[in-house]
Structure 1
Amino acid sequence: MTEHSASPQVLFYEQGASWWWIAAGPASGVAMGLIQASAGYGFQWLVPGIFFVLVTGFLAIQVKAARIHTSVELTPEWLRQGAETISTAEIVRIYPEASGSEAPKWQSARALGELTGVPRGRTGIGLKMTNDRSAQAWARKHQKLRETLTQVVEERIPPESV
């Protein structure tokens, strides 16, 4: 058993992609059947069946990959970004949001997960890590993740007084 097998309190979760996208496969089969019927060919199973199988299969692979590589889960002990998990103890502070015309230095830091950058449709969150490292966490609901991550870090490390 791994340390993640016990049911920890999940503070933030994004699934990555919805299985509802697979409904496009049957919809494409029905659409091809309707096109055949409206063109006067009657209904023949081959073309709608091929569309159904190919579109459903392709989308199932895409959704499965998105659910693995773009899901996010935060507990008090760890942050999982896609297929990479880090301990929240490694996070020293959360950088402020990017504002203004000049990009902050943290935006060029490595994105967590096994992807080459922040996934499309997600927004990066700058993290200062132990050993003077920087990284980017990311999420669709980045404001909520930022807020929750900040709470987790501040519970462990009180914010610096100004």
Structure 2
Amino acid sequence: MTEKSTSDAPERPEQILFYEQGASWWWLLAGPGAGIAMALIQASAGYGFQWLVPGLFFVLVTGFLAIQVKAARIHTSVELTPDYLRQGTEYLDIDDIVRIYPEPGKNETPKWMSARALGELTGVPRGRTGIGLKLTNDRKAQAWARKHRRLRAELTRLVEERIPRERDA
């Protein structure tokens, strides 16, 4: 497993097979919504319209959400190319992946689910599903994504292209 900083990312343009952005900037519309809601509350309470409270809500909610969205776009984004899998800021060479574990059954908890999640987060991010990976040197890890089945299919295809299945004699 190779860990690279974002400045060590491959410089040549790659074919992106799978991408998730992590979070949407649309969440910032909650800031103006909060400001409008406070203005309507003021008006319905009979205080008239004063700029301070709605403006404060607008700035605080928008600012806080901007920080959260930026962090999510950095730490929970996923990118898969023919050469590497990026989870957050961690890069994993596809050559380091030996096998993709099958999806667990309903009442099954496979051992790979306790493996380290890729990326710099302490576990699989909320709203994402883990994908078990067997890595070189008998290591295990979890990749993750919202559209985990699509990522699993792309990863499986890439790994099978690099490591052909042994055919029964």
TM-score in terms of structure 2 length: 0.93
For residues 115 and 147 of structure 1, the distance between their equivalents in structure 2, rounded to whole angstroms, comes to 24
Residue deviations 1:26-52 (CA, integer Å, cap 9, x gap): 110011011111111111000001000
Partner of 2:116: 110
- Please name the residue that 1:19 is paired with: 25
Q: Which residue of 1 aligns with 2:3?
A: none
Residue 133 in structure 1 maps to residue 132 in structure 2? no
User: Which of 64, 71, 87 is the matching residue for 1:65?
Assistant: 71
Q: Partner residue of 2:162? A: 156
Rounded to whole Å, the distance in 2 between the matches of 1:140 and 1:160 is 31
Q: Distance in 1 between matches of 2:31 and 2:133?
A: 40
User: What is the root-mean-square deviation in Å for CA atoms of aligned residues?
Assistant: 1.1
CA–CA separation in structure 2 for the residues paired with 1:136 and 1:80 = 12
Identity %: 74
The two structures have a TM-score, normalised by structure 1, of 0.97
Name 2:4's counterpart in structure 1.
Answer: none
User: How much does 1:3 deviate?
Assistant: 4.8
- Structure 2 gaps of 5+ residues are 1-6
Q: Secondary structure at the match of 2:98?
A: strand
SS class of match (2:19): strand
Moved beyond 6 Å, runs of 4+: none
Q: Report the equivalent of 1:47.
A: 53
Match of 2:16 in 1: 10
Q: Does 1:86 align with 2:86?
A: no
Q: Distance in 1 between matches of 2:112 and 2:89?
A: 21
- Which runs of no fewer than 5 residues in structure 1 stay unpaired? none
How many residues align? The count is 162
